[in-house]
Structure 1
Amino acid sequence: MSPDGDRLAAGWYVGVGFDNFARAFTDTAYAGPLLQVAVWTFAFAGLSVLTAFGLGLLFALIYNDERLRGRKILRTVFILPYAFPAFMSALLWRGMLNAEFGVINDWFFFGANLGWLSDPWLAKIAVLWVNLWLSYPYWMLVATGALQALPSDVSEAARIDGAGRWRQFRSITLPLLMISTAPLAIASFAFNFNNFTIIFMLTGGGPTFPGASVPLGSTDILISAIYQLSGVAGGRADYGLASALSIVVFIVIGIISALAFRQTRKLEDI
């Protein structure tokens, strides 16, 4: 409406339909980089959950032993990374991983000029490492609570039957843990699938794909790629494609979560 109350013409309408979805898979400028981004997104989310769960469970098993002295203090120390804001930790690690003056190269690699944030594979390793450092305390807390809630009579019966430590862990402890932790693992996968903060603050999605005509990089995940394509960060804005990809991400997460929760119900039945 104009200020004097007249209704103004809306210009023209263009029927888009599914063109934006088709462009993501058929346009050569987008299809290749987006495929690489999608593969890395699944790898990043899956590896983040597996590594953080494994390390958190390992520490929980170690510090759940009553024979260990000072375990309460050690637990507190190992939980500290979870207390810091993720964006602040990512910025701190970004400085430490700097190839020229970062302490990681100086202290652990004898001053070697390793491009942790400029080499595609090293940047991916750096992202996974920083996310592991931020995530394992959560799984340590979860696994500690789950271990303390397990019935002791089952493990005692297994010991009487002659089961060793590894057999008790593989056949009793881990299956019982999965019943309570599997839903949290699904939620953690969905969170890491859209973990925009760690990517944006640590690498910014870079290093960029060589020769690509779109602003996407080797460590971009789908959510950060959507941010780049939307034009919010500057450059060419493509809201239609970004919106279509957002819907695709929603559908993918929904399908994976539904299938995973069905598997979780099977674990409860067992």
Structure 2
Amino acid sequence: MPKEENFLKRFIIDSINNSIYGFRQVIKKIGYLEPLDELFIKGIEDPILFNVLKKIYDLQIFNSKAIPLEGPAIIICNSQSTLDPIISSIVINHKSQRIPIQVLDTKLGTDSMLQNFFRVNQAIFVRPQEEDMEAFERCEQTLFDGKLLVMFPEGELGSGNGKLLQFKSDFLRLAISTQAPILPIAIYGTDRIYGKKASIINPQGKIRVKFGDLIPISNITQASDFKDLNFKQVDKLTRKIHRKVKKLWTDVWITEEEQKKAP
């Protein structure tokens, strides 16, 4: 990192972020943090960022009626860009007026440019290299409270272009323990705007978001405890959801390719 960027990050950006964090802790103690965040998301973040995405990246959303307007759901999304949690939050909130809780790698919680967005959106950060029971219990409670939980089961950024990494099974374990339905979603285009190896955001591109249909957990397994499933059963079920997300992405890709060929 160049000296100028390091100085900016260390003495200005990180200093501002630490001050914001301290302020948020004070507000949390007196019980006003959650309503303040909700006011910010619904009054500022949603109308401004949604319209920015529409104008710059021609954001289009398909089958948003699948988002449940009440009750819990585990929203399973592909992971190709650090923008994906931001896009999914904005789209879900705009279309359902519900604020989803993101489940993210702890690295994003320390990103100087993104951490305050994720703090406001009340993300749950998970240590990916170990069994993080505290984070799992928070996810469980979020679903028991009837909220929406967004998960990226690839566990890391993929290369994009519809190539999904293998899914980890944490979402399945949560779905069984809480009996929350699963909603697959595919985000298209963010890999070309700010992909895994990108250093700057591309000001050109298209973003598409397509939701699948809500899947009751009873439709894919009758198990009442994750421990009742063997390795092959877990692998089969995670692959089933993987294929649904992949198909959603492919459907969007086919539509985009057909539009390019249209006269």
Instruction: Report the TM-score when normalising by structure 1.
Output: 0.24
Q: Which has the higher helix share?
A: 1
Larger radius of gyration: 1
